[in-house]
């Protein structure tokens, strides 16, 4: 009998297939004591296992490339954290086995994350995955992970670690469903990059029996368990119609009446560029530069290394627009040489631009490298600062850009409600705004973007968030300047139309989403988008906003 469940759709498309569950997690090692004379040998085993797991994560990252590479390299740094290893060694010295020492040390660190204002709770899944991999290696048992199968299937898991998501084979994994996570979790972002339909934050998903046929609608978040033939035909017809619409839509982004909305790509490094070019991206709306800084948490990369990496991306878009975000460190992306280690709540502390202003040499080197990388290239370089709170922040960044001799437009990311509320003030110092809707939602609703329990507050359809987008766009229009969106909200085709109606001037997203958004815009006039935006803002919940916009755009 067909039943319907609803989670949060995070990656477009429909997948129909049999359920396979993620391999079980490593069991807790026994708490047996070892003789003192064996401690040194056990400590050696622990170090070998940690280095092997770190090397494996880095190798997986090299294979995956792009944003996945940065995520996996961050996990490798987590595995090698010197404080964690010191704790492991202490536990082994007083009688723990290597595997038990690792297990208990990670459990202690896990508790610290949970107590840090819950901002870092979203990294618990990453931490658990690292622990499980190290313990599995020490116990000599198979690594937890994606099941082996010769036939395509739909994967169900409590959560998916980045190491698993990054290397999913779309030919075998038709789609996936997780009980935890949110629309801006690592798994969701990587699913969109892979083009795999995905639904997250579905409590009870793990209770669906192995081998059960389900249909996953990654656009609506609906899961149909044992779908009827009629439902399967309906979903397949909708998927075929969507595919035909995608094929018919080409060229620059625009509404059906010719209002231009440049569609740009979010990239995490040179590895993401080919997919962006293939999808027809008109440039880069968010070039995340953190990947360069994660190789070594103790020092910044050299100017020469930065120039080489930046130039690879800039060369790919001749005559195009490339918006570079300077290093966004802190909170869930700590760097030993840059960010404080003892903040009670890193999300509300020294992160983003605040870190860079405290270390002007790091910012100066990055801006100089960008200037040299763009020299002689026919590219429109724009550089923006993360976590801008007010006009003073914007001025400090613009001054730093000028001092570095940077020939580019300077901009500010709107990720803090104060920046949206005072957009016109900030635009006295910079030339454009770019809305990071992931963090903007997080700070607007005091809802950690990685915690599934508060995922409804991370929904970019929340009317309060749409109000802040509208304020920013109106401020930019009044100043004669641009205001784009580079957060995950831009990847939703229906929401992209609403954002356009709110006055957003460009949309940036993962490459896989560009054809969907281009097709959606091409089917509606600017006036329709404006009416849909007004209807969405007139509601009181994300679900009502989505339905109201859909009703307008479908002519109901």
* Catalytic residue positions, numbered: 186, 486
Structure tokens at 97: 């086995």
Residues 6+ apart with CB under 8 A from 310: 287, 289, 324, 369, 370, 373, 374
Contact (CB, 8 A) for 513 and 192: yes
**Of 489, 481, 470, 471, the residue nearest 530 (C-alpha):** 470
Cα-based distances in Å from 314 to 168, 284, 318, 430, 512 = 29, 9, 7, 22, 20
φ/ψ (deg, to 5) at 512? -65, -25
Count CB-CB contacts under 10 A for residue 464: 14
Contact (CB, 8 A) for 148 and 167: no
Residues 6+ apart with CB under 8 A from 541: 462, 463
Expressed in angstroms, the distance from the first to the final Cα of the chain is 31
**Is 216 strand, coil or helix?**
strand
Structure tokens at 300: 């910044």
Cα-based distances in Å from 542 to 247, 297, 459, 460, 467 = 30, 39, 7, 8, 12
Residues 6+ apart with CB under 8 A from 249: 515, 518, 519, 522
Give dist(CA 248, CA 387) in Å, integer. Answer: 39
Cα-based distances in Å from 53 to 56, 92, 122, 222, 234 = 5, 19, 21, 36, 45
Give dist(CA 344, CA 321) in Å, integer. Answer: 39
DSSP 398-431: HHHHHHTT--SEEEEEE-SHHHHHTHHHHTTT-S
Structure tokens at 101: 């020492």
Side-chain-side CA neighbours of residue 59 (13 Å): 6
Structure tokens at 210: 């192995």
Side-chain-side CA neighbours of residue 316 (13 Å): 25
Give dist(CA 379, CA 317) in Å, integer. Answer: 7
């Amino acid at each position: 009998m067909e039943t319907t469940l609803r989670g949060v759709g995070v990656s477009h498309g429909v997948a129909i297939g049999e359920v396979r569950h993620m391999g079980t997690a490593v069991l807790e090692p026994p708490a047996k004591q070892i003789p003192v004379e064996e401690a040194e040998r056990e400590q050696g085993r622990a170090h070998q296992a940690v280095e092997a797991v770190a090397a494996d994560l880095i190798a997986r990252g090299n294979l995956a490339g792009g944003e996945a590479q940065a995520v996996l390299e961050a996990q490798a740094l987590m595995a090698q954290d010197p404080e964690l290893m010191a704790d492991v060694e202490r536990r082994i010295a007083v009688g723990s086995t290597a595997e038990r020492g690792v297990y208990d040390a990670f459990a202690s660190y896990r508790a610290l994350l949970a107590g840090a204002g819950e901002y870092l709770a979203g990294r618990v899944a990453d931490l658990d995955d690292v622990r499980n991999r190290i313990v599995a290696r020490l116990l000599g048992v198979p690594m937890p992970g994606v099941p082996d199968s010769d036939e395509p299937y739909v994967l169900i898991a409590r959560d998916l670690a980045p190491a698993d998501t990054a290397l999913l084979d779309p030919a075998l994994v038709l789609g996936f469903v997780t009980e935890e996570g949110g629309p801006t979790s690592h798994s969701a972002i990587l699913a969109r990059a892979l083009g795999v339909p995905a639904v997250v934050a579905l409590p009870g998903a793990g209770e669906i029996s192995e081998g059960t046929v389900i249909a996953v609608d990654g656009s609506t978040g609906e899961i149909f368990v044992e779908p009827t033939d009629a439902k399967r035909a309906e979903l397949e017809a909708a998927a075929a119609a969507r595919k035909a619409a995608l094929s018919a839509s080409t060229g620059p982004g625009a509404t059906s009446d010719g209002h231009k909305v440049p569609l740009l790509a979010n990239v995490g490094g040179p590895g993401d560029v080919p997919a962006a070019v293939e999808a027809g991206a008109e440039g880069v709306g968010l070039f995340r530069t953190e990947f360069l800084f994660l190789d070594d948490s103790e020092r910044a990369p050299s100017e020469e290394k930065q120039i080489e990496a930046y130039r690879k991306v800039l060369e790919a878009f001749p005559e195009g627009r490339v918006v570079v975000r300077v290093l966004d460190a802190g909170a869930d992306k700590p760097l030993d040489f840059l960010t404080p280690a003892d903040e009670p709540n890193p999300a509300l502390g020294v992160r983003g631009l605040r870190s860079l202003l405290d270390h002007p040499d790091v910012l100066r080197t990055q801006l100089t490298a960008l200037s040299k990388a763009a020299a002689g290239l026919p590219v429109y370089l724009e550089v923006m600062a993360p976590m801008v709170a007010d006009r003073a922040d914007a001025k400090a960044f613009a001054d730093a850009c000028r001092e570095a001799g940077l020939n580019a437009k300077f901009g500010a990311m709107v990720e803090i409600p104060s920046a949206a509320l005072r957009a016109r003030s900030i635009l006295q110092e910079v030339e454009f705004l770019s809305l990071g809707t992931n963090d903007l939602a997080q700070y607007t609703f005091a809802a950690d973007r990685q915690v599934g329990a508060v995922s409804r507050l991370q929904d970019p359809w929340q009317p309060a968030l749409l109000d802040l987008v509208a304020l920013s766009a109106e401020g930019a229009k009044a100043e004669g300047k641009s205001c784009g969106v580079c957060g995950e909200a831009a990847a939703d085709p229906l929401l992209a139309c609403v954002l356009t109606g709110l006055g957003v001037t460009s949309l940036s997203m993962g490459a896989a989403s560009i054809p969907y958004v281009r097709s959606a815009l091409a089917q509606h006039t600017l006036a329709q988008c404006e009416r849909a935006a007004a209807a969405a803002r007139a509601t009181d919940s994300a679900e009502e906003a989505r339905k109201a916009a859909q009703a307008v755009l479908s002519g109901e």
